[in-house]
Structure 1
């Protein structure tokens, strides 16, 4: 889940919605697994440019510190993730979101046969960045490949180049359909989200519709009146059943959220 807009309490995003992320950690409707209990993480921007991060290997529904923190912390931009491991260890350094400087990154999906191509991918990471890789996941490796390939200056292009590199390396090892992903990343001012799978059947991804339109549709819904017109959410599955509140991000597409503006485009990996 990626939120931007009016500063809100984290609990308003993580606990209060009908189908909140904490509910999804036990009862995901659209995820590859129903239960996502291998840890969680939340990243948020407060006063400075560098975001705060709280990650735990506890299931999100069972972490009392998350409830305490989310009742006190307020932010204009929030990233949150619940984890179901695809094979790497259940440890804090493997929980999303990952942080590097002002940037946050999180990923749903997997790189097929990651252990087979992990060394080749690691050697493609900028040596100046490599020491900052703290965990062992394919998700963090993909983040550092994107950083190496220009995430700061050209996020959409950098992710396309990173995915293209993974597909090229996987092809050399005879691995079919290597990439399955929805990815969200932010520099604290803009959010980019991507939906792509080599085989063409990616994990689900949705973005919220215009808040002003929803207010007009649902004038008696108090939650909508507390949000600014530029409030936006990008989620793996809708947080509620409000009709017209969510649009699915198409396959092989990306969405960029800057303030109240949204840009939707086609995502095509770039061969290295």
Structure 2
């Protein structure tokens, strides 16, 4: 399973999540403590928002712990909204196009989880995409496929609703093809204004997701951090997001919501 971290709030340097904490994302790339695999060395990526509507992005297939450029960029880039990811490949080869975050227009997306028997339904899913979105697919992962499906289903108009529909579509096709559906989906995505995260699994065993406020100067709250696992040992600071839930971080703070694609799949 992969590990990721995201932030929205007052601008801060990416190193505050990526490299500086005791259990930073780079530390998690070779020593994750709340995942089935401790090593996440199949590439990494960061996406950040600045003065332009579309995010900047840097990805590579090197393990995060061995890329000196990542530490340098994280020390220099300051942003009010960014996503960072270290990969443990389950679907798709170790290549740059398969490294998260994925971006399209002003959207960015990263994922931790899996779709069982993805190869059996990939062609049907691809056929649902418009020509433009099909052409935008450069990798081979199930993660990128769900992102493009959500864009197809109206991510701009209803971000969480579109993501629910994308996951429900995957479930319905899996049931049709194999008589069972296993989707584990802990994901984070943003339009450059709001930050969203989801934790969900058909077997109720989703990858982990935690949230915590970030402190600014003089201890004042500066924003919110969403992570696969806590960045430090301050247990009282981190809240575990439950299965079947979504969170939205915006100017007004963090809001907890339900995420129920299974109901959509059953209705179909």
**Counterpart pick for 1:25 among 29, 33, 51:** 29
Q: CA offset at residue 116 of structure 1?
A: 1.1
Pair 1:122-2:126 in alignment: yes
**Counterpart pick for 2:159 among 155, 161, 164:** 155
Pair 1:64-2:68 in alignment: yes
Unaligned runs of 5+ in 1: 212-222
Q: CA offset at residue 227 of structure 1?
A: 6.8
Question: Cα deviations across residues 207-262 of structure 1 (Å, max 9, x unaligned)?
Answer: 114x5xxxxxxxxxxx6536753410010100111242110101111111112421
**Counterpart pick for 1:252 among 219, 228, 244:** 244
More displaced stretch, 192-201 vs 9-18: 9-18
Q: CA offset at residue 92 of structure 1?
A: 0.4
Secondary structure at the aligned position of 1:184 is classed as: strand
Secondary structure at the aligned position of 1:47 is classed as: coil
Please give the alpha-carbon distance, in whole angstroms, between the structure 2 residues aligned to 1:127 and 1:56: 27
TM-score by length of 1: 0.92
Q: CA RMSD in A?
A: 1.4
Q: CA offset at residue 9 of structure 1?
A: 1.4
Secondary structure at the aligned position of 2:221 is classed as: coil
More displaced stretch, 255-264 vs 60-69: 255-264
Please give the alpha-carbon distance, in whole angstroms, between the structure 2 residues aligned to 1:139 and 1:83: 11
Contact 2:224 2:254 in 1 (8 A): no
User: Which aligned pairs between 1:26-175 and structure 2 lie closer than 5 A?
Assistant: 26-175=30-179
Please give the alpha-carbon distance, in whole angstroms, between the structure 1 residues aligned to 2:66 and 2:58: 15
Please give the alpha-carbon distance, in whole angstroms, between the structure 2 residues aligned to 1:260 and 1:242: 25
Please give the alpha-carbon distance, in whole angstroms, between the structure 2 residues aligned to 1:38 and 1:109: 15
Secondary structure at the aligned position of 1:173 is classed as: helix
Unaligned runs of 5+ in 2: none
Pair 1:237-2:229 in alignment: yes
Q: Which residue of 1 aligns with 2:188?
A: 184
More displaced stretch, 237-246 vs 100-109: 237-246
TM-score by length of 2: 0.93
Question: Cα deviations across residues 132-156 of structure 1 (Å, max 9, x unaligned)?
Answer: 0110000000000000001111011
Q: CA offset at residue 177 of structure 1?
A: 3.3
Question: Cα deviations across residues 54-104 of structure 1 (Å, max 9, x unaligned)?
Answer: 000000000011112112111111100000000310000000000000010
